[in-house]
Amino acid sequence: MSGPVTSAAPAGSAADRLQALGLALPELRDNPYYVHHRTVGSSIHISGQLPYQDGLLLGRGVVGRDVDLETARELARHAALNALAAAVQAVGELDRVRIVQMLVFVASTPDFGEQSKVANAASELLIEVLGENGRHARTAIGVAGLPVNSPVEIQMVCTAVQGGPTAV
């Protein structure tokens, strides 16, 4: 995912594109304190997702001190994948997901300044998988700390699109 991102995803379904990347949507574990998504009108609000895989947090620490940029980018991809899984819980299938807004929180040193590069990895994944439906408004924010000492957390607002795969 180091090259430029185009506006169109390759032909086929979003699930096919995800599989071609060697990825699969994870199972999200229930939490007694919050839900992974909440629908209000046509908007689907996705709770902040951390870079968990199979119940394990893939990294801990502060970007720019304990975690390097490339590792943070990979962690952002995993957090985005978890957010996509929550969106699919809400709408039923990947081809119906349209990302409206993404907020990327990066636990980073005050002088890090490359939060947007961390967020780009998540944006690239969404566009590769969803095509134009993956393009979104975005904010990348540096914060002092995140839950369980995670380097990255991603929150999204999505909407459902009608029908299945679109021709690209």
User: 132: helix, coil or strand?
Assistant: helix
Per-residue pLDDT for 14 more than 90?
A: yes
Q: Do 152 and 50 contact (CB within 8 A), yes or no?
A: yes
Per-residue pLDDT for 150 more than 60?
A: yes
Give residues with Cβ within 8 angstroms of 100, minimum separation 6.
43, 136, 137, 156, 157, 158, 159
**Domain spanning 37-160: which superfamily?**
RutC-like (3.30.1330.40)
Mean per-residue pLDDT for 2-24? 76
- Measured CA angle at 147 (ends 137, 88), to 5 deg: 50
Mean per-residue pLDDT for 155-163? 92
* Ranges of each domain in the chain: 37-160
pLDDT digits (tens, 9 = 90+) for 28-73: 999 999 999 999 999 999 999 999 999 999 999 999 999 999 999 9
pLDDT digits (tens, 9 = 90+) for 68-86: 999 999 999 999 999 999 9
Residue-level pLDDT at 7: 46
Q: Do 164 and 42 contact (CB within 8 A), yes or no?
A: no
Amino acid at 100: V
37 closest CA partner among 146, 135, 158: 158
